[in-house]
Structure 1
Amino acid sequence: MHVVIMGCGRVGASLANALERLEHSVSVIDRDLDAFRRLSTDFHGDQVLGNGFSKETLREAGIDKAGAFAAVSSGDNSNIISARVARETFHVPHVVARIYDQKRAAVYERLGIPTVATVPWTTDRFLHTLLADGAAPAWRDPSGQVSLLQVWPHDSWAGHTVGRLQEASGARVAFLHRSTAPVLPDHDERLLEGDSVYVVTVSERSHTVSKVIEQGPDAGSRGEVR
């Protein structure tokens, strides 16, 4: 597959090098000639000098034959404009834009342009490393309003149903991880000791949801959620 990358900063160069190692053909666009020095010495793809939202520049980079386009420059506006041109003008099937402003990211996701919201993603990675209590989200939507949490239930949840856990926590169970395999449960699936649960909730309730699950099925009614 041919991939066009707009932006040859650290992310763009790393992505270009990785794609070429996977035997894809790659063209990298940047306005700064010095930026191409970040590419590995054995990079064989095209290095195109110009603006990534210019149709002429994109054609020079092979956008007409591209199966994917990544906009990873340091500017949100440049990234989203070039992503829209790639999607709407050249009909590239796989397009993604790097966005720093998570509110903008949510808007563009609704427009059908997948985004990587750099700040929320980096924040979540730090939370996963720093916190060991299950409170860090495994995933958040680009707006930051919905989170997927991995939580380890208190042993007293064993024997209770998934439906009971959902009622107590106010979250929706997406799946369980049992032993070495994922399980897609129904409402009546009973929890076993050692299960971890992946639940979906609004982000502002993440802490409360985690604590209800971690403290047992009666924690909420006893007023013990802390």
Structure 2
Amino acid sequence: MHIVILGCGRVGSTLAHALEDAGHTVAVIDRDPDAFRRLRPSTASAAVRGLGHDREVLVKAGIETASAFAAVSSGDNSNIIAARVALETFGVKHVVARIYDPRRAQVYQRLGIPTVGTVHWTAETVLRRLVPGSDGLGLGPLWRDPSGSLTMTEAPLPAAWRDRRIEQLEAALPLRVAYLVRGGEILLPRSDEALRAGDVLHILARVGDLESVQARLNAPDEGEERED
């Protein structure tokens, strides 16, 4: 399929080459012609100089036949305007925009435009590696949805939940087990899978529930006693 990319920085150029290597055709838009030096000759031949929200520029890049559009320039405003034009004017099915200000994610989400918050995601990832459990709850964020309301975190299995089933954990707490790591291997457990000592849970939960999830993981309520 044909894909149009706005922004020929490191992300845009890397994305363009990866897509071409996967067999897709790509056109990269950037207002700075020097940026195209990052592209290999075959990719640079389809590069278009101009603004990503300019309809003529987009048409020249093949937006009318494009199946996807990625706005990954260095400006939030440029990215979101270009993404809206691609989505609303040209009806491109798959559109994504890179953002630096995570506070804008909810706004873009309501417009139907998926976003990638690079600064927020990068900062959290680095922080997790430097100071495990640095969110203050003992659950380090691995992923967060663009709206910031849902997160995936990891947590070593507390002894209190050993030998219980996944379905018991999910019934007792406001979470879902995405997968678990056991003995260095990743498992996609069934609901009746019994948890074992040493398991590391990777759970999905709402950000607002993390504190209660952490507390109840470490100290189950009396109503959550282990079944014999």
Q: Same fold (TM over 0.5)?
A: yes
Contact 2:154 2:200 (C-alpha < 8 Å) held by counterparts: yes
Range with greater deviation from structure 2 (192-201 or 75-84): 192-201
Q: Distance in 2 between matches of 1:150 and 1:10?
A: 30
Post-superposition offset of 1:109: 1.3
Range with greater deviation from structure 2 (53-62 or 38-47): 38-47
Q: 2:177 aligns to what?
A: 174
Q: Distance in 2 between matches of 1:39 and 1:98?
A: 20
Q: 1:223 aligns to what?
A: none
Give deviations 1:152-200, integer Å, cap 9, x for gaps: 21234222344654577x5312334265420242xx7643334332323
Q: Distance in 2 between matches of 1:167 and 1:24?
A: 44
Q: Distance in 1 between matches of 2:93 and 2:76?
A: 21
Q: Distance in 2 between matches of 1:32 and 1:44?
A: 13
Determine which of 147, 150, 153 is the counterpart of 2:154: 150
Post-superposition offset of 1:127: 3.1
Alignment RMSD, CA only?
Answer: 2.7
Q: Give the 3 Å change call, closer, same or farther, for CA 204–123 of structure 1 in structure 2.
A: farther
Q: Distance in 1 between matches of 2:24 and 2:84?
A: 23
TM-score normalized with structure 1 length: 0.82
Number of aligned residue pairs: give it: 216
Q: Give the 3 Å change call, closer, same or farther, for CA 118–63 of structure 1 in structure 2.
A: same
Alignment of 1:52-91 (within 5 A): 52-91=52-91
Contact 1:25 1:45 (C-alpha < 8 Å) held by counterparts: no
Q: Distance in 1 between matches of 2:174 and 2:159?
A: 19
Give deviations 1:51-76, integer Å, cap 9, x for gaps: 11011100000001111100011111
Identity %: 48
Q: Distance in 2 between matches of 1:56 and 1:184?
A: 52
What are structure 1's unaligned runs of at least 5 residues? 219-226
Q: Distance in 2 between matches of 1:13 and 1:153?
A: 41
SS at match of 2:154: strand
What are structure 2's unaligned runs of at least 5 residues? 222-228
Post-superposition offset of 1:139: 1.3
Range with greater deviation from structure 2 (130-139 or 8-17): 130-139
